[in-house]
Amino acid sequence: MKSLSQNVLLVDDEEKLLKTIARRMTLLGFKPLKATSGISAIEIAKKNNIDLAIVDLQMPGMDGLVTIAKLKEIHPNLKTILLTGHGNNKVKQATEALDSGYFEKDDMVDFWKFIKTINTGGQTVVIRPTGTSDSKSDTFPSNEIEIHPEKMYSQSYHSEIFSKERIIGETEAILALRKNIKRLAALDCSVLLRGESGTGKEFFARTIHSNSMRQAQQFIAIDCTNFSNEQLIAQLLGYQKGSFSDAMQERMGIFSGDPVGTIFFDSIEDLSIQMQSQLFDIIETISSRQSGENEIRLLFASETDLAKRVKSKSFQKSLYERLTLFEFYIPPLRDRKEDIPTLCRYFLDRYRQDFKKPVETISPKMIEMFMSYDFPGNVRELQHIIERAVILTDSQTIDVNHMPDRFQNINKSKNQAQNKKFQTLAEIETQYIKEVLAGTNDNKSRTAEILGISRAALWRKLKQMKQKT
């Protein structure tokens, strides 16, 4: 059987090492594609089919972990290997989240042994962590080979997905969001969360934080709508007593005080252009001073499309590029209505325990009403409705009587519509012809012209109307 050449993307900023690995890959029957940075690797991946990517961890600009995450956005099933100077828990957690393996550079003998096993005469390589098996079968189809390299660390640090804060929903958009956030939680890069008010942007930000290596550190949420330029700078950098009207005493800033794990900037679009520029400068300055475990992770949220704001020059391009390395859209509840019953069950269980209430179910009629309602306040609105209903009820079932007035009105409107006597098309036509005749003082020619029919056709309709009366 003739061996099929596989495209292997090699990413390393050390060109000498890159050429050495590429040369050996060629000798082993692979087709190497070389990139000296994460950015160039992404451009290559957009234009080529890639079977395997081997990425160096330490690179200027975009590091290896972020590069792998971006490559998997382009090729979701891409197999990847991270090359690192030394392994640690952070790297292990990140590679697990990214479904990637990794080798240490000081043990390249094992790396090359592994690479040789991949050259399998055109068979598909299935990279799996040591000690795992396919949940569907203990054996693999004849066109697949399972590989368990000893140095491919991929320990299970996420045995339960998002054990701290659950992402509720099974729609395609939420499943994809859950998968991507799990991957990104282990990285250090900035993330922009975009969605309408009430979709849960801060919840998703907290989920990223609580599933990262920073989970034991502080999570600080800053609502940009609540601060003037002066106040926001003071919050970030601190201030001296008397430096502005409300500065009654000296205060350390977020960037200059105790170690912080994650800062979440909500409603980033509400900052003035001047403050956007200042925030960009502050972030760049602080980032250049930090390294390793002391580095603060920055998360952002916006209700608007910032790309459009950049085009209209109402948002600074440099800040936009800084915060949109990864951008995720959180869909409104009206676009994921299949998740409403699951969300109702979750909030019901939560609040009946909190308030020690006997309520056990929500009536099918109430669920039906929820499914026909657009929830302008999104998940937050649904959450508050269920919380309110649990507080108000002493029965085992929540029904329309426990709902806010707007749902009472929906129910009344529905009943009125069901009881209303509807007209037939013929009755509506008859009524309209009478109205036009009255408006033209019984002028048949003018009436026919308005109705868009001939005078003869009008006479036929008038004859039919007379026969029915």
Please report whether residue 58 resides in a domain. yes
Please report whether residue 297 resides in a domain. yes
- For residues 231 and 276, state if they share a domain: yes
- CATH number of the CATH domain containing 289: 3.40.50.300
Out of 280, 308, 331, pick the residue that ends a domain. Answer: 331
Please report whether residue 162 resides in a domain. no
> What's the pLDDT band for 259 if we cut at 50, 70, 90?
low
Please report whether residue 337 resides in a domain. no
Q: How far apart are CA 204 and CA 212, in angstroms?
A: 13
Mean per-residue pLDDT, 266-273: 94
pLDDT in tens, 131-152: 333 433 332 233 333 333 333 3
Please report whether residue 73 resides in a domain. yes
Which structural domain range is residue 452 located in? 425-468
- For residues 180 and 313, state if they share a domain: yes
- For residues 83 and 176, state if they share a domain: no
- For residues 308 and 397, state if they share a domain: no
Lowest mean pLDDT among 199-213, 291-305, 382-396: 291-305
- For residues 122 and 24, state if they share a domain: yes
Q: Average pLDDT, whole number, for the chain? A: 80
- For residues 182 and 231, state if they share a domain: yes
Most confident of 8-12, 91-95, 428-432: 8-12
The predicted structure's pLDDT at residue 120: 44
Tokens for 318, please give them. Answer: 């440099």
> What's the pLDDT band for 396 if we cut at 50, 70, 90?
very high
- For residues 78 and 181, state if they share a domain: no
The predicted structure's pLDDT at residue 160: 35
pLDDT in tens, 314-342: 999 999 999 988 999 999 999 999 999 99
The predicted structure's pLDDT at residue 196: 94
- Give how many domains the chain has, as a whole number: 4
Please report whether residue 166 resides in a domain. no
The predicted structure's pLDDT at residue 23: 86
Q: Which residue has the higher pLDDT, 237 or 257?
A: 237
- For residues 194 and 255, state if they share a domain: yes
The predicted structure's pLDDT at residue 6: 82
Please report whether residue 167 resides in a domain. no
- For residues 313 and 350, state if they share a domain: no
pLDDT in tens, 375-395: 999 999 999 999 989 988 889
- For residues 282 and 367, state if they share a domain: no
State percent of the chain over pLDDT 70.
80
Mean per-residue pLDDT, 16-44: 89
Residue 122 scores a pLDDT above 60: no
- For residues 199 and 252, state if they share a domain: yes
Please report whether residue 93 resides in a domain. yes
pLDDT in tens, 417-460: 455 566 677 777 888 888 888 888 888 888 888 888 888 888 88
The predicted structure's pLDDT at residue 246: 66
- For residues 178 and 316, state if they share a domain: yes
Q: How far apart are CA 13 and CA 20, in angstroms?
A: 13
